Chains A and B, each alone.
Chain A
Amino acid sequence: MRADIVETPELGNRSYVISDAGTLRWEAPGAGPAAAHETSESRRARLALVRPSLAAAARRIGWNALLRPGG
């Protein structure tokens, strides 16, 4: 498993762990990397990363919740 931590303003400055398969998992602030697996949360986050237009929109209007799990 890759343990890259992604922290971006577009993702609400939360941490995401990227797995070997390229999937993402959201980590609660302060939590260490955990086994990555595709969840509805990580899917949303992954979609956000591969759709820069959505990330740009969230940044422009200040709605980071657009990209957050459950948002």
Chain B
Amino acid sequence: MRVVVVGGGASGTLAALHLIRQASGIGAPLALHIVEPDQIGRGVAYSTGNLRHRLNVPAAGMSALPEEPAHFVHWLRANYDPAFARGGFAPRAVFGAYLADTVSRQLQAAARVTWARHRSRAVDLRRHDQGVAITLAGHQVLEADAVVLALGNGAATSSWVPPALRRSSRFVADPWRPGGLPQLSGGSTVLLVGTGLTMVDIAISYGHCQVHTVSRHGLLPLAHAADPPPPPPPPAPAPLPAAPITAASVRRLVFGRIRELDGDWRTAVDGMRPITQQLWSRLDGTARRELLVHAQGRWERVRHRMAPELGAWLSARHEQGLLTVRAASVVGARDTGASLIAELSDATSVQADLIVNCTGRCSVLDSGDPLVSGLLVRGSARRDSLGLGFATHPDGRLVSADELPAWTLGQLRRGELWESTAIPEIRDQAAELAGSILARARAGTREVA
């Protein structure tokens, strides 16, 4: 069987890993092609070379292998730090190396699996016979029995950027573009627009500078507890009401858990995770939209937290006045030649040597990607009801007018699963789609290569 994985970030690497493992487990031949212009296992999230840019989940929760929860911890101790704690927060670059190393070892151990790496981008994907034909940027065409679209996020969001700022060389539109962050001397002033986890990373990168931050609500990310207690057992499905679940009942459920745990919001939120997808699946479109509009920001702030040491560092910078936070929007900008002046919605302004966009990334569906655009136009894929990603079947296969044998995972399933962007969920999706793809081959849909 021939499978192409488009995208070699964390999602694509995990999909490749589980395809290799399951194919070798059943002795099935597999020709695996991975299309990725950059390093395997890195993607935007893990491409940073700054070792102070940490994971936002303890190492014990980041295993690539569901049946071996301590796999990453053991790898860290063997390859990075012999004393690394289970609850420690590893550098993101190290996690990227772990993914690449794990897939490489798995490949070496697999007897009937071949691997081909294409340093390119896929620009077109069409149904071909019972399989697919994928056109790469260099016009090479790969034919395969199945394809996995591990496309991650799209471009950095830029709709808020005033024209004068967009034109300025002192503005960084995408801080994760390789070489995108210029060196600044000590004493320089930086304005970071957006106060989420990307802001924390960039504030760390400019730790020798005066940092100002601005976002609509002016809320800094929250931190994990320094010594987190083990999560409580997830609430049994029984407490979920039989009646249709509304946005209000979800809120009551979350608040109820926090109250039951006497204000321990971290444990309450983490304890919701096993039933989050189940809850989401029972919401109708109206309720999903309501939560997306009114609760997404607040939920993500409590759900996706930074390492405790970064939280302490950020608080100290804040208290020392080396990091300021404003609740406002950037409504205009002037480049004086010597510096940039950002005009804010609260009628104040900030003068800075550099302004960095830390507002996050849009969906790849809205990035003008030719591969995605073509799929949507032809009906080979369609958006989910919220427009966040693709509509998919439970195993991750695209809902497709021409029954394209294409699967996706991670960010692109967010509209249908909600909890779909953290490694444990992506890992489980990778294992499920691998099983589904290989089962299709075994069912004889197409002659095994």
Q: Which residues of A contact B (CB under 8 A)?
A: 47, 51, 53-58, 60-63, 65-66, 71
Contact = CB atoms under 8 A, between A and B. Distances in A.
B222 interface: yes
Contacts of A62: 219, 298, 301
A58 B263 CA distance: 8
A60 B251 CA distance: 18
B262 A51 contact: yes
Interface in B260-308: 262-265, 298, 301-302
Contact of A57 (B251, B252, B264, B301): B264
A56 B298 contact: no
Contact of A63 (B252, B262, B298): B298
Contacts of A54: 258-259, 262-263
A57 B225 CA distance: 13
A71 B255 contact: yes
Interface residues of B, number: 14
B122 to A, nearest CB: 41
Contact of B265 (A47, A61, A65, A71): A61
Which of B259, B263, B301: most chain A Cβ within 10 A?
B263
Interface centre among A57, A60, A62, A71 (most CB of B within 10 A): A57
A65 B250 CA distance: 13
Nearest to B262: A53
A61 B255 CA distance: 12
B263 A56 contact: yes
A56 B252 CA distance: 19
Nearest to B259: A54
Contacts of A58: 263
Given A66-B259, A71-B251, A71-B255, A57 B265 contact: yes
A41 to B, nearest CB: 14
A67 B420 CA distance: 30
Interface in B163-177: none
7 contacts: A53-B263, A54-B262, A57-B258, A58-B263, A66-B258, A66-B259, A71-B252
Interface in B212-262: 219, 222, 251-252, 255, 258-259, 262
